[in-house]
Amino acid sequence: MGDWLYLIIAIAVVGVLTLAGLLTSGRRRKVEPPRGSTEVIVPPPTETETATEAPPAPAVDTAEPAAPTLEKPERSATRMQRLRERLSRSQGGLGQGLLSLLSRDRLDEDTWEAIEDTLLTADVGVAPTQALVEKLRTRLRVEGGQAPDPRTVLREELIELVGTDLDRRVKVTGADGKPGVVLVVGVNGAGKTTTVGKIARILVAEDLTVTLGAADTFRAAAVDQLATWGERVGVEVVRGPEGGDPASVAFEAVKHGVDNGVDTVLVDTAGRLQNKAGLMDELGKIKRVIEKQADVTEVLLVLDATTGQNGLIQARVFSEIVDVTGIVLTKLDGSAKGGIVVQVQRELGVPVKLVGLGEGPDDMAPFDASAFVDALLG
């Protein structure tokens, strides 16, 4: 009889412990289960958290992942310098080509034609190319006195062409204590998710708090990709079910940002362009539901620099759908066509604000006209 009693008590104790264990691990994975089935991924606990919040440590449960150390992203001030080398490597042909042509003893018609071709090949665009050539012709005309230095003239004119009076700041903070909301749009594979991840790192480096919204719900892999970016720097990612409503994820992400007093919410979106009406509906809805919570402070259009004219056409479609406030030009490291900066700004009337210069996590820099031109000229 006594043995039976001990056995029953033992089973009951094991049962209670198991239940408690399940509840604790459930709680640690999710915070405040939000509406619908949107889920907030909590960054892995830091060492101190692990120490104070350790579960009863059942002997069999060895599968608990060790907390990875958080990465310290690079501050943006040093980035352009570091990446300049990469930019000049990919764009060197343009700058060096123009310089050597302009340094010829005699600038005859053939030379001017070659200059024009060089600019067109680099995707500067027809109208800007003609305007630039016209200016160079005028300024480099030798009139009696000493010939002007082609390098100085070319540098000045290129900087002017790229534009120094555009506001290239990315608006990442909101008003009235609300978070800034950055919506990231663009076609498939342009680099949206990577851009969201890289911007998150720039913000973390500036000590801002960030939430990511995985509003690309079409591929499970897209959500995981974003979650990985977030986890590496301890940033929370709000995600929904695969195939769920992107707008509801965006809504929950911004709500999470507002409720937690976060500085910036970055929203990643899907980029299919097969159906303009569908895309318009989706992006329009995302923007509307976000604005029930906080203003969208920035809409960044991500454009792959290697796609040339095709990219431009797609950019135009997006700018018709949403009010794009800035352009992120990615993969400039793999394209010799840096002239696209000039053309896309002209086409869309919005400045290039950031440039992607590699696949590394900190290979993105704020765009700056003179640094860009200096990299071109080597």
Ligand X SMILES: Nc1nc2c(ncn2[C@@H]2O[C@H](COP(=O)(O)OP(=O)(O)OP(=O)(O)O)[C@@H](O)[C@H]2O)c(=O)[nH]1
Residue 73 interface partner, choices ligand X, Mg ion, none, CB cut-off 5-8 Å depending on type: none
Residue 320 interface partner, choices ligand X, Mg ion, none, CB cut-off 5-8 Å depending on type: none
272 assigned binding-site residue = yes
Residue closer to Mg ion (CB basis): 192 or 337? 192
Q: Which of residues 146-205 bind Mg ion (CB under 5 A)?
A: 192-193
Residue closer to ligand X (CB basis): 184 or 265? 184
CB of 360 to Mg ion, least distance (A): 17
270 assigned binding-site residue = yes
213 assigned binding-site residue = no
Close Cβ partners of 96 (under 8 Å, ≥ 6 residues apart): 377, 378
* Closest chain position to ligand X (CB): 356
Residue closer to Mg ion (CB basis): 162 or 322? 322
Residue closer to ligand X (CB basis): 40 or 184? 184
Residues within the interface to ligand X (CB under 6 A) = 186, 188-194, 216, 222, 271, 330-331, 333-334, 356-359, 363
CB of 128 to ligand X, least distance (A): 23
Phi-psi region of 171 (alpha: psi -120 to 50; beta: other; left: phi over 0): beta
247 assigned binding-site residue = no
End-to-end Cα, the chain, rounded Å: 91
DSSP string, 66-111: PPPPPP-PPPGGGHHHHHHHHHHHHHHHHHHHHHHHHTSS---HHH
For the chain, helix (H) and strand (E) counts, in that order, are 13, 9
123 assigned binding-site residue = no
Nearest in space to 182 (alpha carbons), one of 205, 218, 208, 221:
208
Measure the CA–CA gap between 333 and 244, rounded to whole angstroms. Answer: 35
Residue 186 interface partner, choices Mg ion, ligand X, none, CB cut-off 5-8 Å depending on type: ligand X
190 assigned binding-site residue = yes
Task: Tell me the three state secondary structure of residue 188.
Answer: coil
Measure the CA–CA gap between 243 and 219, rounded to whole angstroms. Answer: 7
Query: What residue numbers does the annotated binding site cover?
Result: 186-193, 268-272, 330-333
Query: What residue numbers does the annotated binding site for GTP cover?
Result: 186-193, 268-272, 330-333
Footprint of Mg ion (CB under 5 A): 192-193, 222
